[in-house]
Amino acid sequence: MPKSLRWAMVLWPGLFFAWEAGNLRALLICLGFVFALQAAWIGTFIWPGLLTGWESRLLWWSLAASVAGSVLYQIYCAAWTTKAGSSLCSDKVLQEAQSEYLRGNYFEAEELLTVYVSQGEWDVEAAMWLASIYRRTGRLEAASVVLQTIESLERGSLWSAEIAQEYRKIKDAKRNKRTESL
């Protein structure tokens, strides 16, 4: 993305999160800013009689305050992301863990992923891989605990189908263990 466009996204309230994350709330903020900007522009330059002097000033100052608030909020989010970014599993680590998992090197994959699920901020995708590794290595209770923790997270609801599928696989593995012991 060009640097000039990134600056425009920082100065336009809601645009960055609407564009990057597809956030509906940010889109509504962005659209509200557009309508307010159009009203200020039209009321000041095109049809000056539409707004009184204090209404026009209030609208422009509100727009300036919202731009300043947007910049401050994005600085805060960038600082928070930088601080919390160390606890989120990178794509490179996930790909490396996936390749180890597919080779059958469960211990190596587990070593790569455990760091990202043992901290306070859980990476859900890394935790799902870890639950699968626990299931594959016969540690069914540990897999269930990881899945229960994922379910309790706010982001866990997005993974409900995968969690249910993993629970079914754990249930099948338990059933197979019982029939093997007979």
Residues 72 and 113 in one domain: no
Confidence category of residue 141, pLDDT binned at 50, 70, 90: very high
Of the residues 17, 50, 84, the one at which a domain ends: 84
Residues 98 and 175 in one domain: yes
Of the residues 84, 103, 120, the one at which a domain ends: 84
Treating both helix axes as pointing N-terminal to C-terminal, what angle do 124-136 and 106-117 enclose, rounded to 10 degrees? Answer: 140
Q: How many domains does one find in the chain?
A: 2
Residue 118, pLDDT > 70, answer: no
Of the residues 24, 53, 84, the one at which a domain ends: 84
> Which pLDDT score is estimated for 93?
77
For residue 87 the two structure tokens come to 């606890």
- The parent domain of residue 51 ranges over 3-84
Residues 119 and 142 in one domain: yes
Q: What is the CATH number of the domain that holds 174?
A: 1.25.40
Q: What average pLDDT does range 159-172 have in this prediction?
A: 92
- Residues 179, 182: Cα–Cα separation, whole Å: 5
7: number of CA atoms within 13 Å, CB side? 3
Mean pLDDT of the chain: 84
Q: What average pLDDT does range 120-128 have in this prediction?
A: 76
Residues 113 and 32 in one domain: no
Residues 36 and 14 in one domain: yes
Burial class (CB in 10 A: 0-12, 13-18, 19+), 73: middle
